[in-house]
Structure 1
Amino acid sequence: MKSIFTNKTEIPTAAQLQEALGDTYVYWQTFAEYTKKLYPEATEEWSFTSEKFGWSFRIKDKKRVIIYLLPRDQFFKVAFVFGQKATDAIIASTIAELIKTELQAAKVYAEGRGIRIEIKDETLVNDLLKLIEIKTKH
């Protein structure tokens, strides 16, 4: 499923994002603010990869993306890429089994294992805050 924003010439505005995400917009803000709190030097950017995927939002440090936020219709996905140390920390943590299972099943690439988690309500918010913490530490 691709981004709700597919017009390459138009970067989504905050108002468009809020309308597109509906009730989940508050969680998007929570993740973005928490990432910036843990890593104040982080930069934020919208990125358009292709027609197939549309616009996504990234928060990154100097070398890597900390978190990807992928807007959908009335929800969004959060994506991370974790190296082995971070993966080990997640498996050893109290994070939801659903996330651990997805992480263990993810294909391993040079930059690590990538996972995407749908956010449709508050169920996984605390787990995702823990993932952001682990990502900024490893």
Structure 2
Amino acid sequence: MKSIFTNKAETPNEVQLQEALGKTYVYWQTFAEHTKKLYPKAICEWNFSSEKFGWSLRIKDKKRVIIYLLPRDNFFKVAFVFGQKATDEIMTSNISESIKKELLATKVHAEGRGIRIDIKDETLLNDILNLIEIKINH
């Protein structure tokens, strides 16, 4: 499923985002604020990759993306790319087994292992907050 925002000429604004995400908007805000709290120099940047994928928000440092936030219809996805040190820490952490299993099942690329996680409610809230911290630390 692609982004709910597919018009390249129009960068999504907060009102549109809140309407599109519905009740999950609060989790989007939580993840963005947590990332900026842990890494105050973080840069938030909307990116349009293609019509197929539409708009996504990247929160990054100077060299790498910390977290990708991918808006969908009444939910969103978070995406991360973890290097080996971060992956090792995740495997020994209290992150849910389902996330660990999915991470290990992904193909390893030069930049690391990529994972996308659907956010439809608060179920994975603490796991995502922990993943943000692990990503920033590695």
- TM category (shorter chain) comes to over 0.9
SS in 2 for 1:16: helix
Following superposition, the deviation at residue 79 of structure 1 comes to: 0.1
Letter in 2 for 1:59: I
Matches within 5 A, 1:63-74: 63-74=63-74
**Separation in structure 1 between the aligned mates of residue 106 and residue 93 of structure 2, nearest angstrom:** 18
Structure 1 distance, partners of 2:46, 2:31, is 15
1:31 corresponds in structure 2 to 31
Hey, what's the Cα distance between the residues in 2 that align with 1:63 and 1:42? 11
Mapping of residues 66-105 of structure 1, within 5 Å: 66-105=66-105
Return the alpha-carbon distance in structure 2 between the equivalents of residues 106 and 39 of structure 1.
Answer: 27
Deviation per CA, 1:79-111: give whole Å up to 9, x if none: 000000000000000000010001000110000
Aligned pair 1:10/2:10, yes or no?
yes
Structure 1: which 4+ aligned runs deviate by more than 3 Å?
Answer: none
Q: Give % identity.
A: 78
For normalisation by structure 2, the TM-score amounts to 1.00
CA distance in 2, matches of 1:85, 1:14: 35
Q: Secondary structure of 2:81's match?
A: strand
Superposition CA RMSD, Å: 0.3
Cα distance between partner residues in 1 of 2:23 and 2:83: 32
- After superposition, give the CA deviation of every residue in 1:24-71 in whole Å (9 maximum; x if it has no partner): 000000000000000000100000000000000000001000000000
Q: C-alpha distance in 1, partners of 2:58/2:133?
A: 16
Deviation for aligned residue 1:77: 0.1
Tell me the equivalent position of 1:117: 117
For residue 51 of structure 1, what is the aligned residue in structure 2? 51
Code of the residue aligned with 1:10 in structure 2: it is: E
Aligned length, in residue pairs: 138
1:22 aligns to 2:18 (yes or no): no
Query: How many angstroms apart in 1 are the aligned matches of 2:5 and 2:61?
Result: 25
